[in-house]
Amino acid sequence: MPHRAHLFSLRLAHGFRAACIDERYTTKRLGRDVMAGVTVGIIAIPLAMALAIASGVPPQYGLYTAFIAGFVIALTGGSRFSVSGPTAAFVVILYPIAQTYGLGGLLLASLMSGVLLIIMALMRLGRFIEYIPEAVTLGFTGGIAVVIATLQVKDFFGLGIEQMPEHYWDKLAVVAQALPGLDGTTTLVAIATLAVMLLWPRLRTPVPPHLPAVIIGSLLALALNANGAAIETIGSRFSYLLADGSTGAGIPPFLPEFAWPWQRPDASGEPLGISWSMVRDLLPAAFAIAMLGAIESLLCAVVLDGMSGKRHSANSELLGQGIGNVITPFFGGITATAAIARSAANYRAGAESPVSAMMHALVVLLALVSLAPLLAYLPMAAMAALLVMVAWNMSEAPKSLHLLKTAPRSDILVFITCFSLTVLLDMVIAITTGILLAAVLFMREMAQMTRVTDITDSKRMAGARLPDGWQVFKINGPLFFAAADRIFGELAQLSSSARGFILYMDGVTILDAGGLSALNKLIDTCRRDGTQVVVADLQFQPLRTLARAGVRPEEGVIRFYPSLDEAITAESWLAPT
């Protein structure tokens, strides 16, 4: 019962209030939160920068997102242990927006998605995440992973590609053409970084693998560049303007300024501006961001519930995500949502409450203002290797392979469809098509489960005295629109020569408008042919549906009885003496 209450509740700062106010918050718990926050903050620094670059914007905007959205969502959301910030799942949506509309368009779309998330929370839509099949989520996350990994090929191998095309096959063609010109030293740095991330967990140290991997990759790149190599770094690719008009390399070592998202530059460097046509053009992308943000954040909260034994509030989490994504774009932050990997690391590091996620945000803020000169030495190849690892982890390849080996054909079809459409077309199309396809296939399976059986001569009817020309039919399964016409069509054929029949309906759990319409057609046919219908043992929902539709007993046509035995007894007077 408490879990159900959390699903429907909407309370600002539910996670914080539940962990720090409703429960006693001690100094010991604060110490654990601080340690967990520092651990996750260290993980988040390189990830936030890499994800911003992958989304098509300079790395500092990923740091802005991590510390602003990370703090606000932790404070206002519905989960105790979720850590929010830029995530890999958004890359396939954000990158095309950044290429077409620039930073301003990306921030405006993020702001719009935040408003949509708040609306979803107010409408109590949080629990509907349960209705998205696993085949759909595995399909689109696997497709996203493939796209992200493909986008990293350029920096992983140091290829001379100016800009990736929009369509996936065109991306592959451009990569194939540029691959002969790969840079050996850049590739060496990327492979070294990836190798450290793969091997470091075997040491079983509390230090997360991202940190030593990035440090070793940076030191290797620094040594190679000192010997004449030309390995690209954050400092060599990105720059920023200072107040005196001079240019700095890397990321700016100061806090972001407030600015309206539509005053930020578009793809050509001019202020974006705002108009109804601009909002209309960005609305599909904003809707996709909101949907994906809701899915990611609530799936993350469910995973954390399983790990911790606690319960989140789905609608409160959507509210917190919406507030975070409304506030963050005004300070240059891109789209944020809960990240499963960082959130799981947060819990394993000993987190007690959302205070740990707030501490993580402060660690990222401290890194921005104090370590910006050092962060400029991070090689782009190491960032690419980091994202390749992120893509692999988010793909959940073992789960997908298990699904392909063991799942029904319908689930496999949904998975392959979602995966292919995400890679080749668009994630919005993939999710929409996947959910619709899953729903249609599920309805087909449910419709096939609904059956009508002639039980006139069965053991159940042993000893019953039925009138001549009468039959008894049992219907099992839901009588909804996908099954009803077939069932009543079969029933009409089976009873074509009968004087009357009894419909034993204790196995019918649902009667919808389609089922009601088909039943009315059968009654009309029986009225015309002079065939009597007796309905027995209706469950509550079908009975209520018939009552609301005004279906009443009609002499010589249709009667209703609460049980099969009563129906047989009541009709026994028709039997010959």
Domains and CATH numbers, the chain: 26-401 (no CATH), 451-573 (3.30.750.24)
> What is the per-residue pLDDT for 112?
96
Q: Return d(Cα 509, Cα 529) in angstroms, integer.
A: 29
Amino acid at 36: A
pLDDT grade for 145, boundaries at 50, 70 and 90: confident
| pTM (2 d.p.) | 0.78
DSSP state of 81: S
pLDDT grade for 1, boundaries at 50, 70 and 90: very low
> What is the per-residue pLDDT for 576?
45
Q: What percent of the chain shows pLDDT beyond 70? A: 96
> What is the per-residue pLDDT for 262?
92
Residue 154 has pLDDT above 70, yes or no: yes
Residue 573 has pLDDT above 60, yes or no: no
pLDDT grade for 557, boundaries at 50, 70 and 90: confident
Residue 438 has pLDDT above 90, yes or no: no
Which residues, listed in sequence order, are joined to residue 452 by a DSSP beta bridge?
475
Which residues, listed in sequence order, are joined to residue 249 by a DSSP beta bridge?
239
Lowest-confidence pick of 41-45, 210-214, 249-253, 491-495: 491-495
Residue 5 has pLDDT above 60, yes or no: no
Are the C-beta atoms of residues 81 and 359 closer than 8 Å to each other?
A: no
Cα 275 to the center of its chain, rounded Å: 30
Query: Alpha-carbon dihedral of residues 155, 397, 134, 427, nearest 10 degrees?
Result: 20
For residue 356, the number of C-alpha atoms closer than 13 Å in the C-beta half-sphere is 31
pLDDT grade for 577, boundaries at 50, 70 and 90: very low
Residue 467 has pLDDT above 60, yes or no: yes
Are the C-beta atoms of residues 137 and 131 closer than 8 Å to each other?
A: no
Average pLDDT over residues 490-501: 81
Average pLDDT over residues 108-126: 93
Cα 42-156-169 angle, rounded to 5 deg: 120
First to last CA, the chain: 57
Q: What percent of the chain shows pLDDT beyond 90? A: 31
What residue has token string 């590739």? Answer: 187
CA distances from 192 to 146, 206, 213, 221 (A): 21, 21, 8, 10
- pLDDT tens column, 58-95: 999 999 999 999 999 999 998 999 999 998 888 888 98
Average pLDDT over residues 275-289: 91
Residue 3 has pLDDT above 60, yes or no: no
pLDDT grade for 571, boundaries at 50, 70 and 90: low
160 compared with 459, residue with greater pLDDT: 160
As a whole number of Å, the CA-based R_g of the chain is: 31
> What is the per-residue pLDDT for 570?
73
> What is the per-residue pLDDT for 463?
65
- pLDDT tens column, 313-333: 889 999 999 999 999 999 999
DSSP state of 558: E
Conformation bin of residue 40: beta by default, left when phi > 0, alpha when psi is -120 to 50: alpha
Nearest to 447 by CA among 414, 407, 492, 410: 410
b/e 11-36 (16+ beta carbons within 10 angstroms → b): eebbbbbbbbeeeebeeebbebbbbb
296 compared with 571, residue with greater pLDDT: 296
